[in-house]
Amino acid sequence: MNTCSPNMRPVIRQLDEAAINRIAAGEVVERPASAVKELVENAIDAGARRITVEVADGGKTLIRVSDDGCGMSAEELPLALSRHATSKIDGSDLLNIHSFGFRGEALPSLGAVGRLTIQSRAAGEEGAEISVSGGKMTPAKPCALNGGTVVTLRDLFFATPARLKFLRSDRAEQQAISDVIKRLAMAEPSVGFTLRDVSEGKDRVSFRADPCSGDLFDALRGRLAQVMGAEFTDNALSVDAEREGFRLTGLAALPTYSRGTSVAQYLFVNGRPVQDKLLHGALRGAYADFLSRERHPAVALFVDCDPHKVDVNVHPAKSEVRFRDPGVVRGLIVSALRHALAEAGHRASSTVAGATLGAMRPEPVAPRVYQMDRPSQGALSTAWRAQAPMPAPQPEAGFAEMAQAYSGRVDPVEEAPQGADETLPLGAARGQVHENYIIAQTGDGIVIVDQHAAHERLVYEKLKRQMAERGVAAQALLIPEIVEFSADDLVRLLSISEELARMGLTVEPFGGGAVAVRETPAILGEVNAKALLGDVLDELADYGSSQLVQEKIEAILSRVACHGSIRSGRRMRAEEMNALLREMEATPHSGQCNHGRPTYVELKLSDIERLFGRT
């Protein structure tokens, strides 16, 4: 029964232009960083070579973006402030997009919720200025400007004050703006970026990146050093791979240069910074064998392809994309990163040595007393004669102070065997400390090797090679296990049935929403098939792919490798230590154990000398 009377029926009405723009602004402009992103992207699309961003109070009271791009004429300014007006596309092909912007929503949305002023001058034209406040536009008028465009946005969200309550502190908003600028700076190494904080009358440059020249990798490496720091580029591997029309370039850090969160992961598609579950899932899969789940790799990766192979028009802020063939992209990322890590061989990040040196520098708890500053025994005796009976003779200060028992034991290598060459990357073994750490001498320093962690990695890599050659042994279930799923989960699970079968887990449709589990990986022993497949589906939902079965198998291999490796506390002969060093040099990924921790530390002689003040 319809309880809505004719007098109470809701009336359909057309919203006015101001309301439409404010609603659109809610999708496009979430916070001040969103406004900065849209304005800077417009400047890049205009061909700017230098872009300056000034903000006050975290962008809440002022955002000013100045560029030296192509500019606009007085006739184009009113059109630029109307909805869905853009110079980026003509509307005939919404997939053939080569620019950052194309929706034509940013400027009118900003004008609807703030006080927006645009000053611009195109080549051969006079400078012009136009303003819009809360959706109300003033006529264009002449202004003095050398060239390019200056967009000033004041009092963001003054027309929608409720949105102001959802903004964070000025510092947090400033940090979000800085992150946006850094991501765009990575995407455009040839463009110079400057971010200024002009709050409370001050003028402080919080970020600056000058234009970088050179070929693709030289310019990119230079820009990433400016943004992420030279420490990242020093410990990162170059990635350049191609597959079926997709190209992957960029830098990926060594596993031993990992982070506690994913803040150092920057991903781009056709130059556009994106947050994409597929890409992050592929990144996690590529490093899964080298890092624990609590550690995250640092990368800056760029996927380039024909614009028709990716849809960037799936989110108003253009922060998400959809690939036509996501499997190819994922496979490219995983294979390219694993190949780069394998080529790195036994290399570990230089930050390991830095952390070691830092740990070896004790914090002074009292002023240093050198030998010549101590009073002699004769001087002490003279002072005591005048005031008190002579105390018992004390041992002369010096080496006697070091007379204490040490628990450490060093087994020296009396004579290095043939082939133990100090010029090799990990040098020649010279001793063993505490039955666990091998000390090797190189041409310009020393190497300290954790014998258990290193051999564990070597055994693990050997087991993986054997499994790859022979395949994963499957154990047939006497009675297949029937597991019920929803229709959607069933489709997702069967879509990866071939991948699961290669890992020894065979599932087949059993009618309705059920699957029959006929085989499980033998190495896993007794398996709760329902729980395992449920975890696989959860991972599919989170990352778009699942490496769970493979990770479980590799976890078993890792435990086997741990039990089969050289134990801590075992004394090793010189030839055994050198054989371990040579095998590490020949084995990929041997620079870190199965959990991403370093297997060795290299200290240069110059660093050691600085520890002792021999500078």
pLDDT score of 370? 41
Reported as a single tens digit per residue, the pLDDT across 248-282 is: 999 999 888 888 888 899 999 998 898 888 888 88
pLDDT score of 104? 60
- Give the H or E element holding residue 99: none
Going by C-alpha positions, the residue among 572, 581, 592 that lies closest to residue 423 is 581
For residues 520, 525, 528, 529, the Cα torsion angle rounded to the nearest 10 degrees is: 0
Distance CA 98, CA 79 (A): 22
Q: Are strands 115-121 and 236-243 parallel, antiparallel or unpaired?
A: unpaired
Q: Which residues, other chains included, contact 115 with Cβ-Cβ below 8 Å and sequence gap of 6+? A: 131, 132, 133, 134, 153, 154, 155, 158
- Written as six digits, the tokens of 23 are 């609603």
pLDDT score of 405? 40
Within 10 Å of residue 389's Cβ, how many Cβ atoms? Answer: 6
Distance CA 66, CA 533 (A): 54
This prediction's pTM? 0.70
Q: Which amino acid is at 524?
A: L
Q: How confident is the model at residue 37 (pLDDT cuts 50, 70, 90)?
A: very high
Residue 387 vs residue 290, higher pLDDT: 290
pLDDT score of 92? 55
Q: How confident is the model at residue 72 (pLDDT cuts 50, 70, 90)?
A: very high
Q: Which domains does the chain have, with CATH numbers?
A: 17-207 (3.30.565.10), 216-343 (3.30.230.10), 409-615 (3.30.1540.20)
Within 10 Å of residue 84's Cβ, how many Cβ atoms? Answer: 10
CA distances from 157 to 52, 82, 175, 266, 516 (A): 22, 19, 19, 29, 56
3-state helix, strand, coil in the chain (%, to 5): 40, 20, 40
In this predicted structure, the answer to whether residue 24 has a pLDDT above a threshold of 90 is no
